[in-house]
Amino acid sequence: MKRRPPAQLEPSKEDVIRVQMLRVERELGRLMADLDQSAKDVVNSTIGCDFYVDLESAYLKLKDKNRQSSQPTLEQKTSDETEHIEIANNVSCKYPPPLPIIRQKKLEEQVFTHKSRANELFPHCLDARKLLSKHNERLEFLGDDVLEGIVTKIIYERFPNANEGELSKLRATLVGNDMVSKFATLYGLHEKLQLGLCGEKSQLRKCTKVVADVFEAYLGALYLDNQIDAAFEWVKQLIEPELVRFKMEPPINKLAKAELQRRIGKAGGKVEYRCIEKKMGQREEYKVACIINGSEVSWGVGSNIKLAGTRAAMKALSSWEEDSH
């Protein structure tokens, strides 16, 4: 009796799209590697950022539909992919959101012109002020303020029960260079940046601050292009995944240290608090460890050592209560 060959699963629509997307991206990357910067700019401006965004959107939609209908798929989702899909579905039908287009070409050129490139284009200009309209430093200055204003309004309305300290900390994270450079990288803005020879040799394109500056310059240009509403919605969708993850600190229990000392002392133990980290800057931040009988059991963060120690004691008490149950 002949055995039947095992049934083969047909590739789902989302798998086909995924393969096609990777194939196109790989082929395009190979071709782009052989082009000079001016040719790359032509390709980027022709294709646009929405190309991959639309493919990714279609992939996520089909994948979600396939999951809901419980049909078998050829691809196993990792935890990171699952989180990305869930966040994307909660935020909008596609992430990152479409890049707003700057209508004024002169503004767009200024966004992607670094100061080092402007100095090369106008080598005989001895007055630096005359070059201010040729590179993106002033736009970056404006965009930095626009970004902070947008983020402040969004988180103020989103978290009505958060105090000033919590809002300031969240805002600092959302407008910091690390976060903003990630936003810029989503759209390849740094790849469009025109650098001078010295800038290229210094690999400024890989510098976190320079990449973040391009994003801020783009926001500044949108503001001057009378597209503040579009900029607001764009930033709102960009930061949504971070807002979903945000958790407010519990209310401060000023008696936490005393209560912890009472419980540990009753059992013949010893409680200590030690500052293990200190960050200086616009806002000081301290990290204090709670040590019981020589072992670190928790830590807390605050704008001063006392507050950080109190939070460490609160965490230790919480762990104590969980263990007792």
The Cα–Cα gap between 199 and 205 comes to 8
- Sheet with 295-302, side-by-side order of all strands: 271-279, 285-292, 295-302
Positive or negative torsion for Cα 208, 211, 217, 218: negative
Cα torsion through 174, 175, 178, 184, rounded to 10: 100
Cα torsion through 10, 15, 16, 18, rounded to 10: -170
From the list 294, 288, 293, 281, the residue with the least C-alpha distance to 315 is 288
The Cα–Cα gap between 187 and 22 comes to 17
The Cα–Cα gap between 24 and 297 comes to 51
Rounded to 5 degrees, what are φ and ψ at 20?
Answer: -60, -40
216 carries an active-site annotation: yes
CB atoms within 10 A of CB 239: 24
Q: Which of 56, 144, 213, 240 is catalytic?
A: 144
- Is residue 251 reached through a cis peptide bond, with omega within 30 degrees of 0 on the bond before it? no
Q: Which of 216, 277, 296, 323 is catalytic?
A: 216
The token duo for 33 is 């590697």
The token duo for 153 is 């309004």
CB 291 within 8 A of CB 297: yes
Side chain identity, residue 130? K
The Cα–Cα gap between 314 and 248 comes to 15
Q: Within 13 Å, how many C-alpha atoms sit on residue 197's CB side?
A: 3
Residues labelled as active-site residues = 144, 216
